[in-house]
Structure 1
Amino acid sequence: MIRDKKVKSVRFNQDQGCFTCCMESGVRIYNIEPLVEKLHYDIDVVGSVSKCEMLFRTNLIAVVSGGAPPRFADNILSIYDISAKKKILQVVFASSIRAVRLRRDKIVVALLNQIHVFSFPTPTQRLFTLETRENYKGLCEVSPLVSAEKQILIFPGHKLGSLQLVDLCCTEISISSAPVWIAAHKAEIGCLALNQQGTRAATASIKGTLIRVWDTATKNLLVELRRGTDPATVYCINFSRDSDYLCCSSDKGTVHIFAIKNTNLNKRMTLPSGGMLGKYGESQWALANFTVPPECACICAFGPNSSVIAVCLDGTFHKYVFTSDGICNREAFDVYVNVCDDEKYLQWSTALLSLP
């Protein structure tokens, strides 16, 4: 039974092998395979936490306070070195931090109307600032791989429904590169994602019925996927590591799995396309799906061996395995907030539980 463990947000790390859990009582880090709590900073150390970003499986995490009682204001970014058990960096911004994204060489911080890019870890200096449209959700993603040809940053563009792309490799200090944007949707963008290599971007509007996948080099639409017919809030979109598949979750309580390399695997309507149905009759529906509690937000990502992980704010953990013919079976279920509840084990003062 979940006992007064209110979860404010959850987020996967860059390789989707761990996830952070921000709570009124602090922050936790969980490994996925197997599901085990690896780190716990309690309220006495970090206060209540609204956002936490891991840097792969290194000792560095970024934390933003939130909720009650916050230890710091929500315009302060704190970087902790968990091996040294101390804060190594603090940056104060003019307004509330909406999102933080980490690369091994950069920090990206989204505010309501700006995105700041800093060098990282040393020397940490602001490289440039991008002015944005009002971005309440802090929607932005950056390609995590240093080895990739391009360092792509994506976020909602100034024009309604547009997606802006910036190649951080081609950006000089204090000077932003020329804006490149894609007319992604007619309505406001509600969710976005970027694959590991920065070659594919996925977008959904606030309507939430369609997900569109784009080539970040050519700006061409690669595939349009139908989540459903009723409007929905899309919580999360993620690519598989090889970019062959895509998953998404929404407030309908269903996690959808699509094929984006071999789109013939996706389901289609049995009725003849065209005619009165128009493009609707040609829609590509999910290859497979499974359900989670619809009353709470949920993030999803791909695990090993054709599995999809869903982590919900109600403290539940779901793992399903799918096949190319659309069969989807549950492999694991747990209440992650109750995984490892030994208070002595969880104290900051105990020996460090190093991430694998």
Structure 2
Amino acid sequence: MSNQPVINFINFNQNGSCISMGTSQGFKIFNCEPFGRFYQDDEGGCGIVEMLFSTSLLAVVGMGENPAMSPRRLRMLNTKRHSVICEVTFPTTILSVKMNKSRLAVLLQEQIYIYDISNMRLLHTIETSMNAQGIMSMSPNSENNYLVYPSPPKVINSEIKDHATTNNITIKKTEAVDDLTRKDNSSSNPSDTAQQSQQQQQAGGEPAPPGNANKIIKNGDVIVFNLQTLQPTMVIESHKGEIAALQLSADGTLLATASEKGTIIRVFNVENGSKVYQFRRGTYPTKISSLSFSKDNQFLAVCSSSKTVHIFKLGKNTLDNKSNELNSDDEVNDDLVQRYGDEDDEDEEMDEEAASLNSNHSSKEPVVDATRSTMGRMIRKSSQRLSRKAAKTLGAYFPIKVSSLLEPSRHFASLKITAPTNQPIKSIAAIDDPIELSIKEYPDLFENQTSTNGDHQNSDIIKMIPIRVVSSEGFMYKYISDPERGGDCILLEQYSLHSD
């Protein structure tokens, strides 16, 4: 293990068919189905390796002292010709690179450079606040061509500071967009940029003076930027705390966000900024490492540092009117849920009954993985039944907002990564199109199970959703989940990204 290179970067391509991995020695490209490495470069340490779908075009950023592998230099490579198409050197370290078939975006700590990917012509430069985590997402779809990134912090007046949230503070969208537009049209000179950054911190990036109790810092907003018109379209008020992860759907119509607390996941309509889904990942805070939509926008995978991946079901599980009226302050919600009973546990797992309630298919029992049937789960199952009964009783006496809060929308399925280390890991999931599997080929996994799909006459054939997960410790896992029953995902295959 000690001779293995350090993994600096790992990610799926835009459609989840390939994996790119940057290490201290170079980079590797893998095919997911069938699994196998088809390209490798050992010329030096790599910090970012992004693919353009399944093409031969790669965006590579180094991670070494060698000028050719500088973290400030972007190289566009053609893997078929083994050639460098172009190189661009930036004033500071490159933190993230995103691209689709028409645009390429390069994120620095306080700037985003946007290029025409067909000729690498610089189209626009966005001046932003400090974004040390490199949080940014681009729509893979060139028709709904959007870029999203965290908004600079703002100081907002609030009559009740303690209860101020991102959803009960009104900010005029036109003023916010006008302010962003003025900032985007400013000079890109480094000295001007530094002066602008300093002025912005003085104006809205620093906490309010202690003497003014009606000032609060608001830093959970997301800017939606149109990559065709090169103008910001709106500011979405997503969370109270800082943004930890965000992701656009494959068609560019939905945006998923998570705050640094990681307890609430929200999904917004990109066209009008409305909140269309809200999910509770758990009560205990954790670091969300990635968010991933399925291609048909029916499922959302949320990966956390606790090695757990939650799958939320969209579509029929949309928020009702009561849930949309909820006070969206993460901290207030957590206090109430912990006081009156929640379905969560310290591993953020869900038992059989909870999965059945959330799946909207109560006639079908959720899948249960025998390897995860621990004593703790059995104890939690009985306590959760009592919590739900208490929630129903209390709901008759509390207002609509509180009663709907006591029955939060929970995850549809989940999996626990069997990582060889006890340390927190970073993982990324990709949900593939449904596949048909023969029970006879996996007798140990599907013992005593028959097909629940009426479309198939053969009871030996079942329909499953593949969920691939790559982790920072160098493995690719292939799980499957029942699209109707939910519950525990079943581990089908596991591969090492280090092996030859």
Place the TM-score, normalised by the shorter chain, in its bin. Answer: 0.7 to 0.9
Match of 2:280 among 203, 222, 226: 226
Structure 1 residue 68, shift from structure 2 partner: 7.1
Match of 1:129 among 125, 129, 137: 125
Q: Which has the higher contact order (CA 8 A, sep 6+)?
A: 1
- Give distance in 2, aligned partners of 1:78 and 1:267: 50
Count of aligned residue pairs for this structure pair = 328
TM-score, normalized by length of structure 2?
0.63
Structure with the larger helix share: 2
- Give distance in 2, aligned partners of 1:121 and 1:129: 18
- Once the two structures are superposed, residues 272-308 of structure 1 have per-residue CA deviations (whole angstroms, 9 ceiling, x without a partner) of 3544965541211111101113632111111232111
Residue 315 of structure 1 pairs with residue 474 of structure 2? yes
Percentage identity across aligned positions?
Answer: 28
**Paired position in structure 1 for 2:428:** 299
TM-score, normalized by length of structure 1?
0.87
- Give distance in 2, aligned partners of 1:66 and 1:285: 40
Residue 155 of structure 1 pairs with residue 149 of structure 2? yes
Contact conserved, 1:224 with 1:284, CA < 8 A, in 2? yes
- Give distance in 2, aligned partners of 1:74 and 1:48: 10
**Paired position in structure 2 for 1:187:** 241
**Paired position in structure 1 for 2:96:** 99
- Once the two structures are superposed, residues 322-344 of structure 1 have per-residue CA deviations (whole angstroms, 9 ceiling, x without a partner) of 11212321111121221xx2xxx
**Paired position in structure 2 for 1:61:** 58
Q: 1:67 to 1:280 in 2, by over 3 A?
A: farther
- Give distance in 2, aligned partners of 1:106 and 1:283: 38
**Paired position in structure 1 for 2:156:** none
Structure with the larger strand share: 1
Structure 1 residue 267, shift from structure 2 partner: 4.7
**Paired position in structure 2 for 1:170:** 229
**Paired position in structure 2 for 1:259:** 313
In structure 1, what residue type is equivalent to 2:45? S
Which residues of structure 1 form unaligned runs of 5+? 172-176, 342-356
Q: 1:85 to 1:325 in 2, by over 3 A?
A: same
User: Superposed, which structure 2 residues align to 1:320-335 within 5 Å?
Assistant: 320-323=479-482, 324-327=484-487, 328-335=489-496
SS at 2:406 equivalent: helix
- Give distance in 1, aligned partners of 2:113 and 2:357: 41
Which entry has the higher C-alpha Rg, 1 or 2?
2
- Once the two structures are superposed, residues 174-227 of structure 1 have per-residue CA deviations (whole angstroms, 9 ceiling, x without a partner) of xxx245111100000000000011100000001111110000011000111111
- Give distance in 2, aligned partners of 1:70 and 1:314: 28
SS at 1:262 equivalent: helix
Structure 1 residue 51, shift from structure 2 partner: 0.6
- Give distance in 2, aligned partners of 1:91 and 1:335: 33
**Paired position in structure 2 for 1:284:** 409
**Paired position in structure 2 for 1:350:** none
User: Superposed, which structure 2 residues align to 1:45-84 within 5 Å?
Assistant: 45=43, 47-66=44-63, 71-84=68-81
**Paired position in structure 2 for 1:22:** 22
Residue 237 of structure 1 pairs with residue 291 of structure 2? yes
Contact conserved, 1:267 with 1:286, CA < 8 A, in 2? no
In structure 2, what residue type is equivalent to 1:197? D
- Give distance in 2, aligned partners of 1:252 and 1:229: 13
- Give distance in 1, aligned partners of 2:35 and 2:145: 31
- Give distance in 1, aligned partners of 2:413 and 2:311: 5
Match of 1:140 among 97, 118, 136: 136
Structure 1 residue 86, shift from structure 2 partner: 1.1
In structure 1, what residue type is equivalent to 2:26? G
Q: 1:278 to 1:136 in 2, by over 3 A?
A: farther
Contact conserved, 1:103 with 1:145, CA < 8 A, in 2? yes
- Give distance in 1, aligned partners of 2:285 and 2:310: 15
Q: 1:278 to 1:230 in 2, by over 3 A?
A: farther
- Once the two structures are superposed, residues 236-255 of structure 1 have per-residue CA deviations (whole angstroms, 9 ceiling, x without a partner) of 10000000100011111101
SS at 1:282 equivalent: coil
Contact conserved, 2:295 with 2:432, CA < 8 A, in 1? no
**Paired position in structure 2 for 1:87:** 84
